[in-house]
Amino acid sequence: MATIFSKIIAGEIPSYKVAEDDKFYAFLDINPLVKGHTLVVPKREVDYIFDLEDDELAAMQIFAKKLALAIQKAFPCKKVGQAVIGLEVPHAHIHLIPIQKESDMLFSNPKLSFSNEEFAAIAAAIHKAWEENAD
Ligand code: AMP
pLDDT at 135: 77
pLDDT above 90: residue 112: yes
- CB distance 88 to ligand 1 below 6 Å: yes
Among the atoms of ligand 1, which is closest to the Cα of residue 29? 22
Task: State how far the Cα of 39 lies from the Cα of 78, in Å rounded to an integer.
Answer: 19
pLDDT band at 97 (very low <50, low <70, confident <90, very high): very high
- Interval between CA 129 and ligand 1 midpoint (Å): 23
Average pLDDT, the chain: 97
**End-to-end Cα separation, the chain, in angstroms:** 38
- Interval between CA 126 and ligand 1 midpoint (Å): 18
**Tell me: the pLDDT tens digits for 48-94?**
999 999 999 999 999 999 999 999 999 999 999 999 999 999 999 99
In the sheet that holds 17-20, the strands lie side by side as: 17-20, 24-28, 38-42, 94-99, 79-83
pLDDT above 90: residue 42: yes
- CB distance 86 to ligand 1 below 6 Å: yes
pLDDT band at 101 (very low <50, low <70, confident <90, very high): very high
The yes-or-no answer on residue 95 being catalytic is no
DSSP 43-107: SS--SSGGGS-HHHHHHHHHHHHHHHHHHHHHS--SEEEEE---SSSSS--EEEEEESSGGGG-T
- Interval between CA 73 and ligand 1 midpoint (Å): 23
- Per-residue pLDDT, averaged over 31-46, amounts to 98
pLDDT at 1: 82
pLDDT at 53: 97
